[in-house]
Structures are given as C-alpha cells and as structure tokens.
Structure 1
Amino acid sequence: MPILEAGRTFGMRQNSSLVLYAVLIVAAVILIFVIRYIFSRLSAFVKDTVSKKTQKKLDIDALKSAAAKLGLSKEETAVLINYCRICDIQELPLIAETEQCIGVQLKRMYNHICSEETEHNGAETEDKKLALFKIIHKIENGKRNLTLVTNSIAFPSGLTVTYTDEKGISYPMELIKNTPVEMVLSIAQRRDGTRIKPEPLSKIPLSVQLKNGIAYFFEARIVRYQQPKEFEEMVVAHTKNIRPMLQRRFKRIKTDMCCTFNAVKVIEKDGDKQYLVQPKAYPAIINDLSAGGCKIRTMLPIHDGQYIQIAAPADTGIDSITGIVVKSKKDVDMKSSALHIRFVRMTKKNTK
C-alpha cells in the first residue's frame, strides 16, 4: 500500500509538470503571434507615414502660373485642377518640352469623363469632352506662342525656305548656312531649270515653317550672289521684321488620300441655305486634314468662294462633307491647283 500511494503521488506530480509545460508552450505561441501582429502593424504604420511624407502633392500655384502664361482662363484652370484631384494627378507640367509630359495625365482625364457616361447624360458628357479638347488646344497654341522666333538668326541651317514671286507662285529654297551676320540660301529654280535671281539690294518675300508647326513670313534684303563651289548661292541680310503666320484653330494631319468632289450650288429659301449637289464628280487628293477644313489638289481650276462636296472615305462614318473654297492657288507646274477648304457641314452615314 505505501508503495502504491507513493507511485500515485509521483504520477500526479508528473501530470502537473506536463500541464505546466503545455500552458507555457501555448502562452509562448500566443506571445509569438501577438509580437508578429504588433510588428506587422507597426511596419505598416511606418510605411504609411513615410509614403505620406514623400508623396507628391499637386502644386496648384505653379499650375495656375503656367496656365496663365498659356492663356487659359480661370474657369479652364479650375477645370484642370478639379480633374487632377478627381484622377489623383500629382503633377501636370503644362509648360513642358514634349507633349508626352502631360499626355498621360490628359488621357486619364478623358478616360474619367468617358467612364461617367450613361444613356441619360450623353449630351453633358460630350460637352465635358469638348471643353477638355478646347483646353488642350489652347495649351498647344500657348506653348507655340511662348517659343516664337523674333530674329532670323534663330532659323536652323538646312531649313526649307519658300520664295513667292510677284505672280504668287512659290518656289522652295534651302537655308544652306545661317551665321550671325547673314543667311546663305540656294537659288530658286523654275521647272524648266531657269534660276530666279532678283536684283541685289532688293527685298524678297520669304516664309518658313519650323518643326513645331509655326510658320513665319518675313522680307529679306539680298546682299549679293556668290559661287564658292559648283553652285551659285544667294546671300541675304538678317531681319527682325518676322511675323508668325495665322495659327489654325485645329491641328492639321498630313495625308495623301484620294477622294472625289462635286460642285455645289447654294440657294437661299425662307432664310435657310440649301445645298444642291451637281451630278458630275471630279478626282482629287487630300493633302492635309483637320476638324475645320482640308487642302486638296485637283487638275480642275476652281475659283475662291465656290462650294464643293467631298465624298468621305468609307471608314470614317461620314457620308459627305460640304465646304467652301477660301483660297485657290496654282501649283508650281501651273497645271494642278491647291484648294484650301473650310468645312460648313457634314452628313453622317445612315447605319440603319
């Protein structure tokens, strides 16, 4: 009996030790999880604090200053600031050297407008898109105006210079060399090879177009003619009397698209204009195109003020475009004509 009681006492002591060890192990596991949780929360808190300190904020004052330089109104600037806040845009460098610097942000604004479109607010959404496009166009024009050339010294060598004679015919020349003292130009030639050489000391009308799309008109005085090598060159003096040519309302896209056009007779009835399309169609080539007009080349002589209807390409969703010839000019070959068209109305295709 004493032996049994002693064994029982030893077993109880052993079980108590096991329970104590188990409790300690569970407590240690719980403590480990608690410590890991505290460290994870603390790490997340530190990361959030650091990111908030390092996160860029939209510099509204800088944006307003740049917008004012580009000619944006206060209302247009407020629209941009609002879209920046909605789309979480921290930086919008309006006065940047390349369009890529702001292209992503402006596209994000446009996508936001599109995402809000429903079947009930279609007209309102289109108005917002149009307002954004107008702002973008003003930004582009404003950036161009900030980089206007005021002295012919700034023209780079290798630039194409256009000389226009007294008959209004244009001839290309090359700016061979531009020094601080004078400009050296190649001599314009007619199609028959005849060189055009106005008298020395006379002024000639010239025009150029830079890579940024801005065209300039100026008059330069011929200093002399020289022949350092094989070809004769024209030397003209520098001038500050440079005028930027009228900027277009819409950006033009170069193209080489075949089309046909018909003459249009316009009559007024009860105060409304009616456009009567004539049956005969003529071939032409569209050289450049914008939202407001285009330039086409045709062998048919057309006078200024003539209305025409241009058959649009099949994939445009437009049936035809009616426009007026604002300027007609003979090409150098004196055979084809360049017609500058301003659009007056478009007719959509019937998709039903």
Structure 2
Amino acid sequence: MNNLSIIPLQTGSPLQARLDVNVFSIIIILVAIIFVVGIIYAVSKVFTNYLNSPAYLEKKKNRPTSVKDLNELSNHCSLVKEEKDVLTLICRNHKTPNIKYIVRDYNTMYALFKEQFQIFDRGNDEVSKTHLFSLQKKVFKVFRQQALMKNSKNISVETIFTLTVAKGFHHKLKLTENNSEAMILSLPPSIKKEELPKSLEKVNFIFELEDGTPYNVETRVVRYQEGKDGENQMVVVHSDKVSPLQKREQARAELNLPCKFHSVKVAVEGSGKKEKINYIPSEKAYEGILEDISTGGCRLIATLPIKAEQHIFIDGPFNAKQNDQAVGTIVRTTKRSDGIYILHIKFIKIDVKVTNRIQAMVYKFDE
C-alpha cells in the first residue's frame, strides 16, 4: 500500500498574491467610482440649486439682452424681419435687460412700445409705426394670456358695461364700485326709464378686459339708487355666470362723434396688370355719427335707409382729434326700433397714416 503524503497549501504563493491584489484593486476602484459619482452628484445638486435660486434668476433677468434672446423670442412670436428689427431697435435704444423676462411684464412692454412709437412719430416714420403695432399685437397675443375670469367680483372699477336694450340700441354703463356684496353701475343720461330692466330681473352685459378680451356676464338687478353726486345708479348682484366671447381681430374704440359721408362711384381704368380702381365720392354730403372705429372698419349711425354692399366715403375724426377720410363697403345695415340705421362698414381704402393714428388712439399712445 502506497503511503499518500499530503502537501500542505502554501499561503503566500504568487497565485494567491495576485488574486488578493486583484480583489483589493477592484474594491479601490469601486470606492473611487462611488466617491467620484458622489462628488458629481453633490456638485450638480449645488449647481442645480444655484440655477433655481432667486439670486441667479435675478442675475439672468437683469443681464443685457443678447442676439440669442432676440432670435428665440422672434421665433416664439413668429415675427417677420421688419418686426424683429423694431424689437431689436427697442432693446438697443432702451438698453433693456433680458427681453425674454421683460416681455412677460405687460406694463413695462407697453411703456417701451409707447415710447418707441413716439420716437417714430417725431420722425414721421409711418412704415416703422405699422411694424411696431403688428409687433405689439403678436407679443401681447403670446404673453398676455390672462386667466379666464370666472366671477364678477374680479372686474375692475371703471370697466365699461354695454347694455343692449333693443335691436341696435346700446348703452354704456360704468362700473363705479365693486364691493363684496354687489356691483354699482352709473347710468348714462341717454338711457330712458322704460328701457331699464326691472328690479330683480335678469340682465346681460358685455364688457372687455384691459387686453381687449370680451366677456358676457349674466346678473340680476337689485335696485336703482341715486349716487352722492346725484347720478342715477343700477345695483346688480355678483355672478359666476361670466363667459368669454370671441375677441375682435382689430382693437376698437368708442367715438360717438359727428361725421359726414358720401355715396361713391367706382371707376375702373385700364385692364389686366395696369387696371386701376378709383373711388369717386359724390359732392352731396350726409350727416352721421361715427359710433366706433378700428383699423378694419367702423359703425356709423345714419337716418338714411342705405342698403348693404354699397361703397361709402367717410370724412370724420377717426382718432377723435383730426378729420380723416376712408372708403368702405357697407357689410350690414341694422334698423333700430326708432327708425335710425346703423351701418357696419369695412374699410377698403384707407391711408397708412390714418390707420396708425387710429391705433395710436386705441392704445393711448398719443396721450
């Protein structure tokens, strides 16, 4: 029988040593990776907190507007080159801070637009005025998105309410007080007692927010009273039946000023590409009232039963200051119950200077 000898395992052999070194190295590497990841996470956390800190946001907000800022804003608002040029001019002339933040502040942007308009006005730059107004419209359309109003308690004092009492009859009532209990509206002298809704009767008004968004509010008359200065007032309850209406494409201003209008003869000269249409007003002028106006058209009150789809020449104070002229098409005629006619007119020929004057009045840039 052969004697088996046991050979003891020799610790500290080269193979074992290499195994120990490899394991140790792996542990060191893992610890190093964990350490590095931890450092990266800690640094990123600190950096993220800094980027979200009021101090960084304020610094970013107050830094000068860059070309990149202008390009991003232009793309966001779909500005054409001429509108972007006007925006660039505004930022350069007024050294505006980061425009991407300023643009969200309605009052600041309004002041910038108004001041730039006055610069263009002093230079009689009608083309740039036109681009300024289109720029303003696009910017406010994108950034002036107010939360929908849902209760009459949020309506600002001095807001004008339109009350339609009969076909074609519109009266303007001013909100003089809006307290926790009710709204108090001042009645215009033009409204007759028999036209007023009775106490406890439901009534609908149309009003507009500062940005021009129209709303309808359904409320109920509580009572009528006399104000401190002797004016007649209507007191109505608050309501949550407040609903937005479709906003007009062009901002409109109330005028109610006398004007004159003429019938128009259309004369066509030439043909093809050389064709030219001339609108020739008749010598006879008629009296009317320019009820309201926008750059796209107006409403005119007349005593004549003028049918729709006719051309008309209007001469009146389009900006409430100086007389201007325009040619329009009567889109619709409304006969009121008192026999007076309201002509709804769309302008088809109006000078750019005139449209700029209208917009300056609508946005109060000429004040």
Given the superposition, is the C-alpha separation of residues 104 and 190 from structure 1 closer, same or farther in structure 2, using an over 3 Å criterion? closer
Displacement, 1:308? 0.8
Displacement, 1:323? 0.2
Alignment of 1:147-186 (within 5 A): 149-157=149-157, 159-165=159-165, 167-175=167-175, 177-180=177-180, 182-185=182-185
Once residues 316 and 195 of structure 2 are traced to their aligned partners in structure 1, the CA distance between those partners, rounded to angstroms, is 41
Q: Which residue of 2 aligns with 1:236?
A: 237
Which residue, out of 73, 91, 95, partners 1:89? 95
Contiguous gaps of at least 5 residues in structure 1: 1-54, 115-124
Q: Tell me the alpha carbon deviations over residues 7-51 of structure 1, each in whole angstroms, 9 at most, x when there is no partner.
A: xxxxxxxxxxxxxxxxxxxxxxxxxxxxxxxxxxxxxxxxxxxxx
Q: Which residue of 1 aligns with 2:193?
A: 193
Once residues 70 and 168 of structure 2 are traced to their aligned partners in structure 1, the CA distance between those partners, rounded to angstroms, is 45
Once residues 276 and 259 of structure 1 are traced to their aligned partners in structure 2, the CA distance between those partners, rounded to angstroms, is 18
Displacement, 1:138? 2.3
Q: Tell me the alpha carbon deviations over residues 310-340 of structure 1, each in whole angstroms, 9 at most, x when there is no partner.
A: 2478x9897x5220123445679x3654433
Once residues 104 and 170 of structure 1 are traced to their aligned partners in structure 2, the CA distance between those partners, rounded to angstroms, is 35
* TM-score using structure 1 length: 0.55
Specify the SS of the correspondent of 1:220: strand
Displacement, 1:246? 2.5
Matched letter for residue 299 of structure 1 = T
2:275 is the alignment partner of 1:282 = no
Q: Which residue of 2 aligns with 1:297?
A: 301
Q: Which residue of 1 aligns with 2:312?
A: 308
Displacement, 1:282? 0.9
Given the superposition, is the C-alpha separation of residues 278 and 225 from structure 1 closer, same or farther in structure 2, using an over 3 Å criterion? same
* TM-score using structure 2 length: 0.53
Once residues 241 and 88 of structure 1 are traced to their aligned partners in structure 2, the CA distance between those partners, rounded to angstroms, is 40
Larger relative contact order (Cα-Cα within 8 Å, sequence gap ≥ 6): 2
Which residue, out of 342, 345, 348, partners 2:346? 342
Tell me the percent identity: 20
Conserved 8 A contact 2:162-2:206? yes
Stretch deviating more after TM superposition (147-156 or 80-89)? 80-89
Conserved 8 A contact 2:293-2:299? yes
Q: Tell me the alpha carbon deviations over residues 171-195 of structure 1, each in whole angstroms, 9 at most, x when there is no partner.
A: 3445464344654556899855325
Displacement, 1:73? 1.5
Once residues 240 and 85 of structure 1 are traced to their aligned partners in structure 2, the CA distance between those partners, rounded to angstroms, is 42
Once residues 65 and 83 of structure 1 are traced to their aligned partners in structure 2, the CA distance between those partners, rounded to angstroms, is 16
Contiguous gaps of at least 5 residues in structure 2: 1-61, 353-367
Once residues 267 and 245 of structure 2 are traced to their aligned partners in structure 1, the CA distance between those partners, rounded to angstroms, is 38
Displacement, 1:294? 3.2
Once residues 308 and 92 of structure 2 are traced to their aligned partners in structure 1, the CA distance between those partners, rounded to angstroms, is 49
